[in-house]
Structure 1
Amino acid sequence: MNDVVIRDVLPGADPGFDNRRLPVYEAGEIDVPFVVWGSEEVIARDTFWEEHAHPTHELLWNEHGASSATVGTRVWTITPTVGLWIPAGVRHSGWTPAGTRHRAAHFGVHAVPAIADRPVAVEVTPLLRLLLDRLDHGDLSGDERARTEGMVLDLIAPARNEILLQIPESPLLAPIVEAVLADPADTTTLAAWAARLGVSTRTITRAFRAGTGLGFSRWVATARVRHAIALLSRGEDIEDVAACVGYHSASAFGTAFRRITGTSPGRFRAG
């Protein structure tokens, strides 16, 4: 499980996908002439971004849809309201489903200190989006651009809720991880897994906490919510999504979703 590749192949999605290769740069290896430079793309086909690293800091978010970025054994979900700050030189891969309106902003290391020395989720507020749009599309003078860039930097801060799935490396947990990622509706209980693997429930719980910081139930709930976000981003009905990820009622699903994301499924889909 060291090389983590999580691809949310959803019902109706193109079974094929684009594979993109980008170079690996060290932080500051290229002396860029900008403070902030943005890009955007509507992703036509499911796209896997092979491991790469930028000479600049990068902020990823989506105007529409949910994608993911992987660093080592950690997988972040990226949405229109929760982005991901990746420091310059940090190797990462990504998965972006078809139909996603993908946004990125690169920050020159000469002008912008990293907000953290590791990837961190960032709250993408309406004001931050507006300012980044102004940098990308506005006809700004030098002073106007500098002021806008300064406001952007002031607004970038770690999010209160991040959608992060840590993949445990323990061989003991590999069958559980593979089963849940393949089918988030898998309802095998902790006791059933313990019997199947020939260990105690306490052994599995300890292994999950050591490898992810979460217990078995919370880890499974996070994996389910992560998959649910991909479905909700496609406009799927909330009750159907709840069933697809293993919940017997929309209310139980809503409780788990709010606990992990800080918002309800309905608000997330509307947003």
Structure 2
Amino acid sequence: MAERDIAPSPAVLLRDGGPPPDGATDRRSLPLYRAGEIDVPFVVQSSVENIPGDTFWEMHSHPTHELLWNERGASSAVIGGRVWTITPTAALWVPAGTPHAGWTPAGLRHRAAHFAVDAVPSISDVPVAVELTSLLRLLLDRLDADGLAPAARARTEAMVLDLLVPARHELTLRVPDSPLLAPITAAVREDPGDATTLAVWASRLGVSTRTITRTFQSETGLGFSRWVAAARMQQAVAMLARGDRLDEVAERVGYHSASAFGAAFRRITGVSPGRFRSQ
């Protein structure tokens, strides 16, 4: 498969906040704030930005809680060695003061909402995925409307807060630190369809299959096969979000049929590839 067909995953290259992937046309530096370090004159405030070029966001943190999602396209955030995939339906809640880095590709329509810590308790002490339902999107859009009366705004904010709950499925992946696993993670990053088996990797690296499995489990919480499947799905989500055909995506991430890919995608994300793309 040609290298131009499968670019290395920016999400994995962003691990620990740098350096940015090759080809980044914009590098943004933001401050590191502690939770509540700055008083803000709002309960919820959102923003929208069309990203003109591939953009790397250096490690930063906010004095407010943050909800990140996209109106179109898929982006990545890196927090403590864990890579999160953010889409129009899978949002990410980042508690105030949590350092994070990010990658947003060209053409993405990026959304963010900030929540004052003195008015909104965090829904979690750690970053969590939030299912961005149609109702939640409509309410967040309403908060952006001009001329919203204070009473109406307060009611809308209350409904938004009521709908902010951790999702059952998360598009997240922990990247292992171990040098032993580096060749495996690099191979999957460069080609998510790489079909090298655990036994072959053990032979190449001169260790037992049990050693590889134990190392993956201790560093990522997943065994070899499950980690590879999760890494493939992160790439698949990005491909689907940019409009690639289902059968092409299935082949590129190592599945011999669209049905097998669909079953794996549904198991990890909670929705079928077709439903994900339609949402």
Q: State which of 26, 30, 33 in structure 2 corresponds to 1:18.
A: 26
Deviates more, 1:167-176 or 1:87-96: 167-176
Counterpart in 2 of 1:12?
A: none
Deviation at 1:139, TM superposition (A): 2.1
Counterpart in 1 of 2:158?
A: 150
Counterpart in 1 of 2:39?
A: 31
Whichever residue aligns with residue 111 of structure 1, its letter is A
Percent identity of the aligned residues?
Answer: 67
Whichever residue aligns with residue 33 of structure 2, its letter is Y
Deviation at 1:138, TM superposition (A): 4.4
Q: State which of 237, 242, 251 in structure 1 corresponds to 2:259.
A: 251
- Which TM-score applies when normalising by structure 2? 0.92
Counterpart in 2 of 1:3?
A: 16
Whichever residue aligns with residue 182 of structure 2, its letter is A
- Which TM-score applies when normalising by structure 1? 0.94
1:19–1:50 contact (8 Å) kept in structure 2: yes
Q: Deviations over 1:139-197 (max 9, x none)?
A: 21111111111110000000011011111112211111111112211111100100001
Deviation at 1:76, TM superposition (A): 0.6
Counterpart in 1 of 2:68?
A: 60
C-alpha separation between the residues in 1 aligned to 2:90 and 2:245?
22
Moved over 4 A (4+): 4-9
* Aligned CA distance change for structure 1 residues 241 and 6 (closer, same or farther; 3 Å): farther
C-alpha separation between the residues in 1 aligned to 2:153 and 2:218?
46
Give the unaligned 5+ runs of structure 2: 1-12
SS of the aligned residue for 1:30 comes to: coil
* Aligned CA distance change for structure 1 residues 195 and 175 (closer, same or farther; 3 Å): same
Whichever residue aligns with residue 114 of structure 2, its letter is H
Q: Deviations over 1:21-41 (max 9, x none)?
A: 111101111100100000001
SS of the aligned residue for 1:68 comes to: strand
Q: Deviations over 1:213-267 (max 9, x none)?
A: 1111110011011001111011110011111111121111111111100111111
CA-atom RMSD in angstroms? 1.6
Counterpart in 2 of 1:264?
A: 272
Counterpart in 2 of 1:93?
A: 101
The answer on 1:169 being equivalent to 2:177 is: yes
1:27–1:89 contact (8 Å) kept in structure 2: yes
